[in-house]
Amino acid sequence: MDFSSTEKDELFEELVETIHSNYPGFDKNEALNVLNERESKMTTGIMHSVGIPHALIPSIKDSIGAIGISHDGIDYDSLDKAPVHVVFMIIGPDNDPNHHIQILKQLASVLQIPDFVKNLLSLKSTSEIYNFICTSEESLIE
């Protein structure tokens, strides 16, 4: 839940390491390079204290990701210049960009739910976060 990083570069390394510890079959350095290259073109710190770093790489078969939360916030060079408190990192296979776009669209829809980020930040466990996100996604379908 809480990441220890205080800078964006450290955050990327921490989240990639978290993903790799659960899904070791991809190249961490490749992922970091592509994430940083994407970030150098335009910040993924989008709005409402949220960052969505994402990358497509060949060494992965399925989309994977991690969520990081910082109650203190980090300087992310966001579009709104506000600190980032919630980070959704998504890494997908480079042979399926349409699926990656669909994931980003779904995430953007969830982020539009009133008080989504505020409510997410109030949760105390990974299971609460998971259930909250699932419930939020389901509410969009109804």
90 pairs with which residues across the strands?
A: 54, 65
pLDDT band at 67 (very low <50, low <70, confident <90, very high): very high
Identify whether the C-beta of residue 43 lies closer than 8 Å to the C-beta of residue 76: yes
Give the model's pLDDT for residue 142.
Answer: 64
Q: Does residue 64 surpass a pLDDT of 90?
A: yes
The percent of residues in the chain predicted with pLDDT above 90, rounded, is: 71
57 pairs with which residues across the strands?
A: 93
* CA–CA separation, 14 and 2 (whole Å): 11
Start-to-end Cα distance in the chain? 28
Each residue's pLDDT tens digit, 28-60: 999 999 999 999 999 999 877 999 999 999 989
Give the model's pLDDT for residue 71.
Answer: 87
Q: Does residue 1 surpass a pLDDT of 70?
A: no
Each residue's pLDDT tens digit, 69-80: 998 889 888 888
Give the model's pLDDT for residue 136.
Answer: 94
pLDDT band at 18 (very low <50, low <70, confident <90, very high): very high
Instruction: Give Cα separations from 71 to 31, 48, 83, 120, 124 (angstroms).
Output: 26, 13, 10, 11, 11
Give the model's pLDDT for residue 46.
Answer: 83
